[in-house]
Amino acid sequence: MAAPPRHVSMLSISNSNTGAPQSASSDKPQTPQPSPSPQPTSGLRVPSNRKTIYDRHLNRSRNAELSRASFAYLFAEMVTYAQRRVTGIQDLEKRLNEQGYPLGLRLLDLLFYRSTSTSSSALSSSSTSSSPPNRPLRILPLLHLIHGPLWRLLFQRSADALEHSVSPDTPNEYMITDNDPLVNTYISVPREMNMLNCAAFIAGIIEGVCDGCGFEAKVSAHNQPTEMWPSRTVFLLRFGDSVMEREKVLERNGVK
């Protein structure tokens, strides 16, 4: 969806062409010469403690928990920010979705990085380090990835249900249910906006994960309260036709 158009890639190809001979000749290591970027010539600005993002370990914050109060505050601000420039509920949900999307792409990489690094450290000596978790090729592994590891990374628990649409007309629809989404815990929606579900942000994250894995999908969040779970939310995943076609081909070829 938010993929950069083709002409962008053409543009950068021509850029790298003009820069190619120069950069190829200057590729001797340890010449941190800033490539033709509009930066001041002093080059890189390093933080005062000399630690760039590349020097920090990605697992450092792995077990660190975020204060719920500050998250609620930030999220409330995000909703307010999105609401300031919209015309309707759908528009607002779309904006929340767009805020979540890039997060999904990032979480995907982080999730795989963390699971590979733990598996290799746990089995460091054995040769099984060559079997990090596989990229999901079929829809079901992808859904399990979202339902389990992704949810645990975000909320420290799995999602509550994972269902396939029972209607034969919509085989491309899947549902992930969360009985009490964290993002909605401190949000009470006014009566005149009762269709709004701010978990559209989470839907955006899911959409980013699906798209990143190569499964084009539209994801939306819907209120489905029950007596026990008043803020129960269903995330509806609608996969595109291309995905369903590929799914059939892969099934025929016996790819798991």
Partner 1 sequence: MSYYFTILSPTDTPIFNIAFGTSKGGGDGIARFRFPDTAQYMNQFIIHSSLDIVEEAQWTNGGMYLKHVDTYPPAAAYISAFLTPSGARFLLLHQPPQLPSSGSTSTLGASSLLGAAGSTTRASSSSVAANPTSPQTEEAVRQFMNEVYESYVKTAMSPFYKQGMEIRSPVFRSKITAAGKKWL
Residue type for position 82 = A
29 or 40, CB closer to partner 1? 29
Closest contact distance (angstroms) between CB of 27 and partner 1 is: 5
**2 or 161, CB closer to partner 1?**
2
Q: Whole-number minimum distance, CB 251 to partner 1, in Å?
A: 12
DSSP 210-239: HHHTT--EEEEEEE---SS-TT-EEEEEEE
Nearer to partner 1, 36 or 171 (CB): 36
**In 3D, which of 8, 29, 33, 7 has the Cα closest to residue 19?**
33
Question: Minimal distance in Å, beta carbon 167 to partner 1?
Answer: 28
Closest among 228, 241, 227, 220 to 174, alpha carbons compared: 220
Q: How far apart are the first and last CA of the chain?
A: 27
Site residues, partner 1 (CB under 8 A): 3-4, 6, 8-9, 12-13, 15-17, 20-21, 23-25, 27-30, 32-35, 37, 43-44, 52-54, 56, 58, 102, 105-106, 108-113, 116-117, 130-132, 134-137, 212-214, 246, 250, 253, 255-256
Q: How far is the CB of 79 from partner 1 (least distance, A)?
A: 19
Q: How far is the CB of 190 from partner 1 (least distance, A)?
A: 31
Q: Which helix (H) or strand (E) holds 163?
A: strand 161-164
Smallest gap, in angstroms, from Cβ of residue 72 to partner 1? 20
- Of 89 and 105, the one with the shorter C-beta distance to partner 1 is 105
Closest by CA to 181, choosing from 144, 218, 234, 220, is 234
Cβ closest to partner 1, residue 38 vs residue 168: 38
For residues 238 and 170, what is the distance between their CA atoms, to the nearest angstrom?
9
Closer to partner 1 by CB, 145 or 202: give it.
145
**What is the spatial order of strands in the sheet that 217-223 belongs to?**
161-164, 173-178, 233-239, 217-223
